[in-house]
Chain A
């Protein structure tokens, strides 16, 4: 059974940093591209970033480019999202997803003073 478990969320002040993790199990993690997708409270889905299976290809939404970094450690079956210079508009539930096929439960990030 595919499982994706996010962690690392919380309350952070504007301008600060936070790093999210996503532990994958139930499939061969190193074979699949992975995504971070977020959902602001009461809003729809917004794609944030993607990374290919071997980290050769990385893409970001314009709204986070230059501030967020997606990475992965295939030996640890873990996906990461390093978030810097956080803004109030980054407040959202952040999902780790394998394509759009499988989703984690999400981790909440709240940016507020």
Chain B
């Protein structure tokens, strides 16, 4: 199984600050079609997960451009510029290149 190692487990931030979350996979996430199926999700308190970014760097519909994703192969980063209160919650990376699909353990973003 592909192990997704997500760091840090938690972040305490001030509104307006920028933060980055790392996600490393135990094997390459490049699929046979050449695409990389690494996604970022946000689970706000009491809510279902919401997809923010798909295939490494593509912004989901309605997602503010304060969010950006970079990376390749096994090493990926989510950056949030100018954190807002609505950004608080748990962030997960997820891979859907290989079965079983696997998720990072999550990064909890809290207010300082």
Contact = CB atoms under 8 A, between A and B. Distances in A.
Nearest to A47: B101
Contacts of B100: 47, 59, 61-62
A50 B101 contact: yes
Contacts of A95: 48-49
A61 to B, nearest CB: 5
Interface stretch (A11-19, A22-30, A73-81, A103-111): A103-111
Contact of A46 (B49, B60, B99, B103): B103
A47 B60 contact: no
**Looking at chain A, what size class is its interface with the partner chain?**
10 to 19
Contacts of A100: 39, 41, 49, 51, 54, 94, 96, 101
Interface string B32-59: 0000000101000000111100100000
A44 interface: yes
- Which size class do B's interface residues fall under? 10 to 19
Contacts of B106: 44-45
Contacts of A35: 101
Interface string A28-41: 00000001010000
B85 to A, nearest CB: 22
A8 interface: no
B96 A45 contact: no
A101 interface: yes
A99 interface: yes
B67 interface: no
A44 B51 CA distance: 15
Contacts of B103: 44-47
B48 A105 contact: yes
B92 A45 contact: yes
Interface of B: 39, 41, 48-51, 54, 60, 92, 94, 96, 99-106
User: Which 7 A-B pairs give the minimum distances between C-beta atoms?
Assistant: A47-B101, A103-B48, A45-B103, A59-B99, A101-B51, A44-B106, A100-B94
